[in-house]
């Protein structure tokens, strides 16, 4: 089929979910968020989509603005990554508690637009919150609205789908039963653990920045060294966002004593005492995916060089292609990268959802 399904992205951030759905063949109409810098990045990269600043707590006004922005086009799919904050358990089959506004915004949007399908992404902890009762409440809410809802049995691991990162996320996917859709089966892993993409295969072609801090636009200094690098560079002629951090000599000295794949536990007594928590002073391993990319970027270090990764290196580890340019301050860029859904993981689910949609339309 040649039909392109229309998508809107709630709590879009910089556009990781949207990028993955674009890559899997959807037509993204709009991304909605409240973060100015993230929306600028979204508008810059998700071509043809409107970047809308909306307070999704005020769902009536937000939905009206979305309607106006998409000019009467139908919405086939709603995707959303609402933050999991202050979720309260109200019991029964209703999540319409004022403290659950972030989720309720998605419920109201799905109820209004009646898309053929929706996807909600969240952190693994959502599955066990209140002993699984919140997860069941979300399922019940959408089932009562006429959707067949599937949830990941266990969080999906991004590394299983070609992302060079040990990042786990859970997903809810629903399809409208009235249109004849049944339950959705999540994509099986693409890779075995011995096939995972390591950090060297992901970022070794980027300039080392040993003798320079780099610039926001740089040229490649070598050819791709892996299939993953070829994929990331496919549509790019330059490198964006590859700017180093000006560490003190002491910080570089501490980092230099952390072995590949090691952390603060490998430092000599008295060294690096300012940071001694679980993720502190962690050096990536060249042959393994990275730990979960966070929004701070100060605790993880390059597998080889004595510095924190650049925004571009973290974007690579998140599977953003090199032509995806992040805007705003470096702090804002790191936050955008860390908050995003890896596009290749989103693409894997998007493709499977596309097959499900097309099968339903063929009935």
Active site residues: 84
Torsion sign, CA atoms 234, 236, 241, 247: positive
The DSSP bridge pattern shows strands 217-218 and 239-240 to be antiparallel
Between the two ends of the chain, the Cα-to-Cα distance in Å is: 13
In the block, tokens 């600043």 appear at 53
CA distance 363 to 360: 5
The DSSP bridge pattern shows strands 6-10 and 27-33 to be parallel
Q: Pick the closest to residue 135 from 118, 145, 117, 123 (CA basis).
A: 123
Q: What are phi and psi of 185, to 5 degrees?
A: -105, 120
Q: Pick the closest to residue 48 from 31, 65, 62 (CA basis).
A: 31
CA distance 26 to 7: 7
Q: Is 127 helix (H, G, I), strand (E, B) or coil?
A: helix
- Bridge partner residues of 78 (DSSP): 8, 118
Give the angle 58-56-118 at the CA atoms, nearest 5°: 130
**60 Cβ contact list (under 8 Å, min separation 6):** none
CA distance 195 to 64: 47
Q: Pick the closest to residue 119 from 128, 111, 127, 110 (CA basis).
A: 110
CA within 13 Å, CB half, 9: 33
CA within 13 Å, CB half, 224: 17
CA distance 269 to 119: 48
């Amino acid at each position: 089929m040649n039909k392109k399904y229309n998508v809107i992205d709630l709590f879009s951030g910089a556009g990781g979910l949207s990028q993955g759905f674009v890559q899997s063949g959807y037509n993204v109409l709009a991304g909605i968020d409240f973060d100015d810098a993230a929306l600028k990045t979204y508008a810059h990269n998700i071509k043809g989509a409107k970047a809308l600043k909306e307070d999704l707590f005020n769902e009536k006004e937000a939905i009206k603005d979305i309607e106006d922005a998409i000019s009467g086009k139908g919405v086939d799919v709603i995707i959303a990554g609402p933050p999991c904050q202050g979720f309260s358990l109200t019991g029964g089959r209703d999540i319409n508690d004022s403290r659950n506004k972030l989720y309720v915004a998605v419920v109201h949007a799905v109820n209004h637009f009646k898309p053929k399908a929706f996807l909600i992404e969240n952190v693994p902890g959502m599955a066990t919150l209140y002993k699984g009762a919140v997860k069941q409440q979300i399922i019940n809410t959408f089932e009562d609205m006429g959707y067949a809802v599937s949830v990941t049995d266990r969080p999906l691991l991004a590394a299983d789908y070609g992302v060079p990162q040990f990042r786990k996320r859970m997903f809810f996917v629903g399809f409208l039963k009235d249109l004849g859709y049944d339950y959705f089966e999540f994509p099986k892993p693409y890779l075995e653990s011995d096939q995972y993409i390591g950090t060297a295969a992901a970022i070794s072609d980027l300039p080392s920045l040993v003798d320079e801090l780099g610039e926001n636009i740089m040229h490649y200094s070598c050819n791709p060294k892996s299939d993953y690098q070829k994929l990331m560079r496919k549509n790019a002629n330059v490198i964006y966002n590859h700017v180093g951090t000006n560490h003190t000599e002491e910080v570089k000295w501490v980092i230099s004593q952390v072995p590949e794949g090691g952390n603060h536990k490998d430092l000599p007594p008295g060294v690096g005492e300012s940071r001694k928590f679980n993720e502190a002073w962690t050096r990536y391993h060249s042959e393994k995916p990275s730990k979960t990319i966070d929004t701070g970027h100060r605790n993880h270090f390059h597998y080889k060089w004595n510095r924190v990764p650049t925004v571009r290196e973290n974007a690579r580890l998140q599977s953003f292609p090199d032509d995806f340019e992040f805007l705003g301050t470096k702090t804002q860029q790191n936050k955008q990268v860390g908050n995003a859904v890896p596009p290749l993981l989103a693409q894997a689910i998007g493709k499977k959802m596309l097959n499900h949609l097309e099968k339903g339309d063929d009935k």
